Chain A
């Protein structure tokens, strides 16, 4: 079962403490277990670009993005046995403490 794990910031979480950021360990463990297929951080919203097609015309803009204190800061594609394993993986990620994590089951297209 594949889950897309969105790693997001959360103003209500405890403040970020670099000394407690064990992301390297997390990646090492999850890659070794074969449950983390790939993942990365994402550049902040200031570096994002919005693309729309309207009336056949491609519109490229620097926003507007929804004003929000919570934004997606990274992602990981997981391969877990079931939701309980995905929850266990997510709960060990440092951003589960310093932010929050959303688990979305992947919805494959029918073959």
Chain B
């Protein structure tokens, strides 16, 4: 509803205010008069009428052509049409426009597309509500003043812009996922990605991202212990994994994989899927995972992917081979100072039984870990190797 009002009126604040007023009106009248037969159409009609009132007033005052045009179009808007998919898509692309800062894109998408409150977004990003509100206000102002278009990008821009949209959604998901108490953000990111996958069924990377989110989210009940310390895949109770989500992701990947050369989200989802479908940690097919990392590296070369590949090599072919692969990654210097590099070294030395070397690397990882749960995790590992 908001997305359609934005398209017709070109005014984000007007569209949001009128939509909010429609919901307020519903809260005031539905408990008294009962819920209407078509609640969506009821809300759209109220929001549309509010917008018409305001625009007619403004149009009479200013005699502005655009407002007159918007009035005419609003008058012909059919509230019975429950969904305006093209408008929703326009809204997603505009909220994720690269001319907005990344943090503004995330906040605006969660607020305007996802419908979360500024308070919910603020809690997930550990900043004040005022900060989030200001980010959103500034972003909306820039959309208007710099004339960021309200449309799905043309074909030659689509691939690039779509990957920007997916990055915003994945970032939102990870923010929600990393803060345990705020999984509502992760849920919302999945919901918006699901809507995007329905709107753009021909884009396998959208499906890939949805599958990746579902697979990561399937472990939400198993990934922490009672003291909120992260558990490795090896330690997690697999009976707590969400089997329905894993099955859905598998179907999505099968459908997407038939269409095209897999992109980075499909490949990451495929890796997550190998983990998710293994009956036990020991039964994990690490050879397949290494092969998938090789393909991922071919599509998106990155030192972090190389690091993860070396860890997988260690599981597939033994810790010595893993350490050799890790040293080749470390030699580039791209991961100097990155705490997961000593963490990976420590883990391979632990598997080799070289506990004192493992302990010294766990100490480096512990000193560099950015969050308390991760510090707790490394402290526990350090304890285990007698450090």
Asked if A1 contacts B147 (CB within 8 A), the reply is yes
Q: Which of A55-111 contact B (CB under 8 A)?
A: 80-84, 86-87, 103, 105, 107
B148–chain A nearest beta-carbon distance, Å: 5
A84 to B153, Cβ gap below 8 A?
yes
Q: Is B149 a contact of A84 with CB atoms below 8 Å?
A: yes
- B240 beta carbon closer than 8 Å to chain A: no
Chain B positions within 8 Å of A1 at CB level: 147
- Shortest distance between the CB of A96 and any CB in chain B (Å): 15
Give the complex CA separation of A96 and B32 in angstroms. Answer: 61
Contact present for A84 and B146 (CB under 8 Å): no
Chain A residues within an 8 Å CB radius of B157 = 84
- Given the complex of chains A and B, what is the CA–CA distance between A81 and B149 in angstroms? 9
Interface residues of A in 31-66 (CB under 8 A from B): none
Q: Is B99 an interface residue (CB 8 A)?
A: yes
Give the size category of A's interface with B. Answer: 10 to 19
Residue of A nearest to B148 (CB): A83
- Are the CB atoms of A82 and B148 closer together than 8 Å? yes
DSSP class of B's interface residues: helix, strand, loop or mixed?
A: loop
C-alpha spacing A103/B149, complex, angstroms: 15
B336 sits at the interface (CB 8 A): no
How long is the Cα–Cα vector from A107 to B149 in the complex, in angstroms?
Answer: 18
Interface string of B273-302 (1 = CB under 8 A from A): 000000000000000000000000000000
The one of B97, B99, B145 that contacts A107, using a Cβ cutoff of 8 Å: B145
- Residues of chain A with a CB closer than 8 A to B147's CB: 1, 80-83, 86, 105
- Tell which of B99, B147, B157 has the most Cβ of chain A within 10 Å: B147
Closest to B154 in A: A84
Mask, B140-169, CB within 8 Å of A = 1, is 000001111100010001000000000000
Given contacts A84-B153, A84-B157, contact A105 B146 (CB under 8 A): yes
Is B145 in contact with A105, judged by CB distance below 8 angstroms? yes
Instruction: Select from chain A the residue with minimum beta-carbon distance to B161.
Output: A84
The residue on B at minimum CB distance from A86 is B147
| Closest B residue to A80 using CB positions | B147
* B79-120 interface code vs A (CB 8 A; 1 in, 0 out): 000000000000000000101000000000000000000000
Nearest-neighbour CB distance to chain B for A44, whole angstroms, equals 29
A106-B51 Cα distance, complex, nearest whole Å:
28
A75 and B97 CA atoms in complex are apart in Å by 25
Give chain A residues whose Cβ lies under 8 Å from the Cβ of B97: 83
Taking CB atoms, residues of chain A closer than 8 Å to B146 are 83, 103, 105
A81, B145: Cα distance in complex, Å: 13
User: Which chain A residues border B99 with CB–CB below 8 Å?
Assistant: 83, 87
Across the two chains, which residue of chain B brings its CB closest to A2? B147
Indicate if the CB atoms of A82 and B145 lie closer than 8 Å.
Answer: no
- Give the shortest distance, in Å, between B290 (CB) and chain A (any CB): 37
Give Cα A1 to B143, complex, Å. Answer: 13
Q: Which residues of B are found within 8 Å of A103, using beta-carbon distances?
A: 146
CA distance A81 to B147 in the complex (A): 8
State the CA gap A1–B97 with chains docked (Å).
18
> How far is it, in angstroms, between the C-alpha of A52 and the C-alpha of B205 when the chains are bound?
56
A106 to B145: give the CA distance in the assembly, Å.
9
A58 CB to nearest chain B CB (Å): 34
Least distance between B225 CB and chain A CB atoms (Å): 46
Residues of chain B with a CB closer than 8 A to A84's CB: 148-149, 153, 157
The smallest beta-carbon distance between A87 and chain B, in angstroms, is 7
| Cβ contacts under 8 Å, B145 to chain A | 105, 107
Contacts of A82 in B (CB 8 A): 147-149
Interface-centre pick from A81, A82, A84, A86 (highest chain B CB count, 10 A): A84
Q: How close is A83's CB to chain B, nearest CB, in angstroms?
A: 5
Cα A81 to Cα B157 with chains together (Å): 16
Q: Which residue of B lies closest to A105 (CB)?
A: B146
Contacts of A107 in B (CB 8 A): 145
Q: List 21 interface pairs A-B (beta carbons < 8 Å), by A numbering.
A: A1-B147, A80-B147, A81-B147, A81-B149, A82-B147, A82-B148, A82-B149, A83-B97, A83-B99, A83-B146, A83-B147, A83-B148, A83-B149, A84-B148, A86-B147, A87-B99, A103-B146, A105-B145, A105-B146, A105-B147, A107-B145
Beyond known contacts A81-B147, A105-B145: 7 more, CB 8 A cutoff: A82-B149, A83-B97, A83-B99, A83-B146, A84-B148, A84-B157, A103-B146
Which residues does A use to contact B, with CB under 8 Å? Answer: 1, 80-84, 86-87, 103, 105, 107
| Nearest 8 Cβ contacts at the A-B interface | A82-B149, A1-B147, A82-B147, A105-B146, A83-B148, A83-B146, A83-B147, A84-B149
